[in-house]
Structure 1
Amino acid sequence: MTASRVWAVFSTFRPGEGAVEAVASVASQVGGVIVVDDGSGDRGRTALDLIAASGATVVRRSSNDGIAAALNDGIARARAVGAEFVLTFDQDSHVPPGFVAALLTAYDAAVADGVRVGLVVPEFFAGVRQQRGAPAAFGDAANVIQSGMLVPTAVIDAIGALREDFFIDLVDTEFELRARNRGLRVLAAGGVRMEHALGTKYRREIFGHPVRVPGVPPEITLSTPFRYFYRLRNRVVLDREYFRSAPRQLLRDSVLDAIHFANALWVAAPRGALARVYRAAVVAAVRGRMGRMPAALSSIAAQIRWNAPMIAEEDQ
């Protein structure tokens, strides 16, 4: 098994220098790199030009259709040139030397043991462990993240591509659950690590004083406000469609998400705007309104700010 059979596919949106570094970190480990820009327009042009100059294939989409659509575009192009595996990435994911070979080694070991493998992810993603149980060369993964996800192209033939109507958020979880429903194992490669930014950290405060409650972390990691529409809508859809097949996982994840949504509402300013985003997300899920959020709601989300002090990287 050689890395030349693997093609890396990146989705970008208004990329900067970090995207150039991310592509460079994996380029020598794979047969080729395809970068699909999701409608950035002129923003990010410098970074995309540098990436193209490095030898990667750069595809500039004219519209912003979401991460799943961008990745599916890149995956289709990788398959057209004979890729047997695709390795998907976000624009801010960096991999160490030997990363791709380690994922392939775990895949080979699992196949040799008679496992029907759906996909393989690193054991550690941004410091969060994705492998269940005791450390092993490969083991079942929990709550996979699409960045750093190795997928045989034959699996895409069998279960379909990433779900584009989710637009962004939980696209990876839906693919994971779909693979398991088809009898495929979702694995984490033991000892493999990948660095990634999971969001911005903020300090919990009440009237300017840090919150110190036993069992409650003193900080909270938050995404850009508009993301909470997709995260809540897609969570409701996932629960409705997959709860019977994965009740424990979805119950746990839904409880954790509910806590996170409450925390975000606590520090949102104005709170009413985020509450409207939440309400619209639930209504969209119930009525089957998928795809991109309405422009009017996007304008409301753009007004939201997090009323909490940001934690500088050196303070973390």
Structure 2
Amino acid sequence: MPESVGLAAQRTATAAVVLAYHPDDAILENLVRIRPQVGRVYVVDNSPGEESARLWSTLGDGVEVLEQCGNVGVAAGFNAGIRAALAAGSDYVVIFDQDSTPTPGMVDRLLSVHAQHGAHAGVIAPALRSAATGVVYRRETGDGVAEVPVLISSGSLLSRDLIERIGLHDQPLFIDYVDHDFCLRARAAGLRNLKVFDALLDHRFGDSDPIRLLGRRVYLANYSTMRLFHQTRNRVIVIRRYGFGAWFWEDAWFTLKAWTKLLLFERNRGAKLGAALRGLRAGLVYPARERHW
């Protein structure tokens, strides 16, 4: 069977899951970019109401909205979409945040890499390009395909075989390090998580507010105290589950830079530091071996 025919069949058997939380009109453009690359799209609405209903009223064929009871979190939201996709017969699922935009051909490239690695494939994801600057992040540059410990959720390709083998996302983690836990679980099962450098995803981290520092433009995440609590708590939980591997040192450098910018330039620094300390305590007492999906 010609490769193009096989790839077309894989594309038809692929669903996209897009997680929405108080989305604005920009999500519609992202859905326009995603829809031609997959067989079907599931929008998981974590903030149902009149405003999001207005957006969904303009959606075309092949896009289904799954309204949740409220903000069930990233893990449970992705799981809801993945369950719907698998139940409808999809063999592959690509998951997206609402503010991530795939470049043309991204999903096909991920599917091609999965076909090359078959049963050994874990999570497969594209390289990240800043939606704010249009520049590929320095740590996201490379050639071909590389095995890595962890990948962010948005843009990740997950196969039915992978999910049946290791399970879904751990729902009580709620947000942040959900992707770390999933990837490290795949790695512990002997699977290879793969970064595909010639597939690109335009992505935003936090609010990405720009400031000037020593003549350079620097972007602040401006995460909420709730987000910082979960970041800190879940980082501790993941360390307790998987130890201090290569993933930790990369994450530690990213965390150091983020907290340096937070403490120097962001508002409500005291409240944010307090939330992180509460998260640290919560992570230390959390029953780390328990998982729920």
Q: Shorter-chain TM-score: what band?
A: 0.7 to 0.9
Aligned pair 1:76/2:77, yes or no?
no
Contact conserved, 2:127 with 2:199, CA < 8 A, in 1? Answer: yes
**CA deviations over 1:234-271 (Å, ceiling 9, x no partner):** 11111121115x2x321331243134224312323333
Q: Cα RMSD (Å) of the superposition?
A: 2.3
**CA deviations over 1:144-169 (Å, ceiling 9, x no partner):** 11111001111111101011111111
* Alignment counterpart, residue 13 of structure 2, candidates 5, 24, 33: 5
Contact conserved, 2:149 with 2:183, CA < 8 A, in 1? Answer: no
For residues 88-167 of structure 1, the aligned pairs below 5 Å read 88-111=95-118, 116-126=120-130, 127-128=136-137, 135-136=143-144, 138-141=145-148, 143-167=150-174
Distance 1:287 1:92, change over 3 A: same
Alpha-carbon offset, residue 6 of structure 1: 0.5
Please give the alpha-carbon distance, in whole angstroms, between the structure 1 residues aligned to 2:192 and 2:138.
17
Please give the alpha-carbon distance, in whole angstroms, between the structure 2 residues aligned to 1:202 and 1:97.
27
**CA deviations over 1:53-103 (Å, ceiling 9, x no partner):** 443111111221101111100100000111111110111221222221111
Aligned pair 1:189/2:189, yes or no?
no
Amino acid at match of 1:118: G
Q: What residue in structure 1 maps to residue 55 of structure 2?
A: 47
Contact conserved, 1:8 with 1:30, CA < 8 A, in 2? Answer: yes
For residues 163-242 of structure 1, the aligned pairs below 5 Å read 163-199=170-206, 200-203=208-211, 210-211=213-214, 219-226=218-225, 227-242=227-242
The 3-state SS of whatever aligns with 1:233 is helix
Please give the alpha-carbon distance, in whole angstroms, between the structure 2 residues aligned to 1:28 and 1:211.
43
The 3-state SS of whatever aligns with 1:191 is strand
Please give the alpha-carbon distance, in whole angstroms, between the structure 2 residues aligned to 1:193 and 1:61.
30
The 3-state SS of whatever aligns with 2:67 is strand
The 3-state SS of whatever aligns with 1:180 is helix
Distance 1:96 1:59, change over 3 A: same
Please give the alpha-carbon distance, in whole angstroms, between the structure 2 residues aligned to 1:45 and 1:78.
21
Please give the alpha-carbon distance, in whole angstroms, between the structure 1 residues aligned to 2:139 and 2:114.
16
Distance 1:74 1:270, change over 3 A: closer
Please give the alpha-carbon distance, in whole angstroms, between the structure 2 residues aligned to 1:54 and 1:198.
30
Please give the alpha-carbon distance, in whole angstroms, between the structure 2 residues aligned to 1:269 and 1:92.
23
Please give the alpha-carbon distance, in whole angstroms, between the structure 1 residues aligned to 2:148 and 2:129.
11
Contact conserved, 1:130 with 1:141, CA < 8 A, in 2? Answer: no
Aligned pair 1:28/2:26, yes or no?
no
Amino acid at match of 2:124: V
Amino acid at match of 2:32: A
Distance 1:165 1:153, change over 3 A: same
| TM-score of the superposed pair, with normalisation by structure 1 | 0.79
The 3-state SS of whatever aligns with 2:65 is strand
Please give the alpha-carbon distance, in whole angstroms, between the structure 1 residues aligned to 2:220 and 2:149.
20
Q: What residue in structure 1 maps to residue 277 of structure 2?
A: 279
How many residue pairs align between the two structures?
273
Question: Which deviates more, 192-201 or 264-273?
Answer: 264-273
Amino acid at match of 2:40: G
Unaligned runs of 5+ in 2: 1-5, 131-135, 289-293
The 3-state SS of whatever aligns with 2:49 is coil
Distance 1:288 1:224, change over 3 A: same
